[in-house]
Structure 1
Amino acid sequence: MGPTIKDVAKKAKVSVATVSRVLNNQPGYSEKTKKKVLQVIKEMGYQPNAIARGLINKRTQTIGVLFPSVSSLFSSKVLHGIEHIAHERDHSVIVCNTDTDGKRTMKYLQVLGEKQVDGIIFTSEVLTEDYYRVLKAMNIPVILVSTFSLRYPFPYVKVDDKHAAYHATEYLIKQGHRKIAMISGTEGDEIAGTPRIEGYREALRDYGIPFQENLFVFGDFGYRSGCAAMKKLLERGEEFTAVFAASDEMATGALSVAYQHGIKVPDQLSIIGYDNLQIAEMSVPPLTTVAQPLFEMGKLAAEMLLTMIETGVTVESRIMPHSIIERQTVAKPL
């Protein structure tokens, strides 16, 4: 059996209450006493009991994170950032895979409530009235990532999707392209789908290029939907010299179909993606894309959540910068 808090107090010649205050960063001791207690803890190899500590500070040192698809490259990068900060700040992370249609979201919110997590990071999903009602009843801090709500104003961390999609389309236009197709995300997706469509259409409009229904097709952000969408575009027989895909996975699918049809990228067709996932660097040729700082978004969301947990003060929402990462899938049209 390892040393107890009483053993630490005895060796440091202080009370158990003082050791507890030091462990929980509470006031009531000198800097000299703090150093002495921490030194004894180090020497004895004392490990604070998380349950006992939770009874003192009313916290579990645990946060919950909800993703529509934990296995996606997008989610893994955001999660990496969240865990980096959480572990640095001595917090555990419970990850919940809510599925793409959110059918498990309510169940996992209930589980996180039962686990008495100190806060929740809610990602990529529409914040419905039901979700908001449950989150509000839990009475803990909540941060949204890659989603937001005007009706339910939880603080959020995200990129301006409309602006980023505008920037991607404008980049193709400035390369000389005027026949630009778009592979969009899921139809009806208010978070990442509709804003990226609006950005694409607004860029076309600003540069005097008419929107063509035959050059637009929905996907679902995944690789297979990118393949299917690219096949649809080719089957329609409408000429286009460039494709803006609303995710890197769909852009990679479009690249694959182009290769299967003997279409050379970027000589005959330019393709730009969205996210700057590792798959963009690994594709052949390497994919030009709009970069979202996903790791940094995860880190910032965790920092904001822990600040709210520790201070009780609501933090400001943050719009993160995006950028175009130029690789080898975009060129001027022939």
Structure 2
Amino acid sequence: MTKIHTIKDVAKKANVSIATVSRVINDLGGYGAATKEKVLNAIQELNYQPNGLARSLINKKSETIAVLFPSVSNMFSSSILKGVEDLVHQRGSSVIVCNTASKGEKTLKYLKVLQEKRIDGIIFVSEVITDEYYEFLSNMNVPIVLVSTESYRYSLPYVKVNDRHAAYSATEYLIEKGHRRIGMVSGNPSDMIAGQPRMEGFKDALKSHGIQVEEKSIVTSRGFSFEDGLQGLMRLMSSTTDLTAVFLASDEMAVGALSAAYQMGIKVPDDLSIIGYDNLPLGEMSIPPLTTVAQPLEEMGEKAASMLFKMLETGETAESRIIGHSIIERQSVKEIK
């Protein structure tokens, strides 16, 4: 049986006190370079592993990856996180999850904490990279991969679906089912990541099929939540009464729209067809089950983690990836003959 060594064994082998070993492990100072080298050599020779910090002092790696989400409470984030964790754990590392709540001050606070913890790399999800973020991230000198976002200003690798194209596909699917009077409940139009691109994809599809774009047929929201979809559909139907189909910019919004339709006595899909965006598990559980355009979120998380490890191993920047989307047909869209 392999002997499990203690801090006392390390102190004895290095010929220093237990207190000195503890100070070296916790990087507290108060010792010379020669003493530090003796302690680290003893730790390595004895394979002493008190915690991740001791290992990081030896191999200069914390074996920890950080993932920053604007929200950790939704299925979108949990699906991406599952993909990240599966790959990271396979590689023998751990994951720290940070909930930034889309607030710059909180994001910077997390970045400072992560710098102190000497994390090996960062996966940055669904948030705009500001100048302030980029400056801090550059000073951290660790690899960064973006997921479901990209930066036009800074050369950072990303993994994402083409949101404009995916929204085009969702809208075109409705058109191919015979719908001509189509509305949209969008996210925030000032959101350059998912708000504006999905709105533009919706408009592009209508125009390419010779359907006039009416601004009253597009309702914008603060975000992509259930409540945004519920309130958004109510506002849309109060201003436009002859719609036969609606594209919702997220599955959570689409489920909110299903609830609104129920409250208004609108039958889906008999009276109104609804299509969502994301392909979250929530869509399969809705009544009726939700037709949606799928982002392969777990695959995106796994791919981002794989890219991060490759950057750690090679020191080279990874190549960005656009992941394909697809239409998942269920029962919330009716074909008009």
TM-score by length of 2: 0.85
Q: Give yes or no for the alignment of 1:3 onto 2:18.
A: no
AA at the equivalent of 1:330: V
Q: Give yes or no for the alignment of 1:247 onto 2:247.
A: no
Paired residue for 1:53?
55
AA at the equivalent of 1:57: N
Paired residue for 2:281?
278
Specify which of 230, 233, 239 is matched with residue 233 of structure 2: 230
CA distance in 1, matches of 2:244, 2:118: 54
* SS of 1:77 mapped into structure 2: helix
CA distance in 1, matches of 2:182, 2:173: 11
* SS of 2:319 mapped into structure 1: coil
Specify which of 304, 307, 310 is matched with residue 310 of structure 2: 307
8 A contact 2:69–2:100 mirrored in 1: yes
* Residues 74-130 of structure 1: per-residue CA shift (max 9 Å, x gap): 001101111111111111111110003444111111111111111000010011111
* SS of 1:70 mapped into structure 2: coil
AA at the equivalent of 1:262: G
8 A contact 1:269–1:333 mirrored in 2: no
Q: Give yes or no for the alignment of 1:145 onto 2:111.
A: no
Runs of 5+ consecutive residues of structure 1 not aligned to the other structure: 8-15, 24-40
Paired residue for 1:85?
87
Paired residue for 1:221?
224
8 A contact 1:268–1:333 mirrored in 2: no
CA distance in 1, matches of 2:240, 2:4: 75
Paired residue for 1:168?
170
AA at the equivalent of 2:279: N
Identity %: 58
* Residues 148-198 of structure 1: per-residue CA shift (max 9 Å, x gap): 012111100000000000000000000010110001012300001111111
8 A contact 2:49–2:55 mirrored in 1: no
Paired residue for 2:294?
291
CA distance in 2, matches of 1:274, 1:284: 16
State the Cα distance separating 1:2 from its structure 2 match: 6.0
* SS of 1:104 mapped into structure 2: helix
CA distance in 2, matches of 1:182, 1:165: 10
Distance 1:126 1:210, change over 3 A: same
Paired residue for 1:67?
69
State the Cα distance separating 1:48 from its structure 2 match: 7.2
8 A contact 1:119–1:140 mirrored in 2: yes
8 A contact 1:241–1:333 mirrored in 2: no
State the Cα distance separating 1:63 from its structure 2 match: 1.1
Specify which of 282, 304, 318 is matched with residue 321 of structure 2: 318
CA distance in 1, matches of 2:289, 2:105: 35
CA distance in 1, matches of 2:97, 2:3: 30
CA distance in 2, matches of 1:49, 1:101: 32
State the Cα distance separating 1:238 from its structure 2 match: 3.4
Distance 1:248 1:148, change over 3 A: same
8 A contact 2:290–2:330 mirrored in 1: yes
Distance 1:101 1:184, change over 3 A: farther
* Residues 30-78 of structure 1: per-residue CA shift (max 9 Å, x gap): xxxxxxxxxxx9xxxx867533321222111111111000111100110
8 A contact 1:68–1:102 mirrored in 2: no
Distance 1:76 1:50, change over 3 A: same
Paired residue for 1:212?
214
CA distance in 1, matches of 2:103, 2:118: 25
8 A contact 1:113–1:138 mirrored in 2: yes
AA at the equivalent of 2:119: V
Paired residue for 1:184?
186
The root-mean-square deviation of aligned C-alpha atoms, in Å, is 2.3
Deviates more, 1:220-229 or 1:83-92: 83-92
8 A contact 1:201–1:211 mirrored in 2: yes
Paired residue for 2:29?
none
The runs of 4+ residues in structure 1 deviating greater than 2 Å are 4-7, 46-53, 100-103
TM-score by length of 1: 0.86
CA distance in 1, matches of 2:270, 2:313: 55
CA distance in 2, matches of 1:152, 1:2: 50
* SS of 2:228 mapped into structure 1: helix
* SS of 2:118 mapped into structure 1: coil
State the Cα distance separating 1:310 from its structure 2 match: 2.1
CA distance in 1, matches of 2:272, 2:57: 62
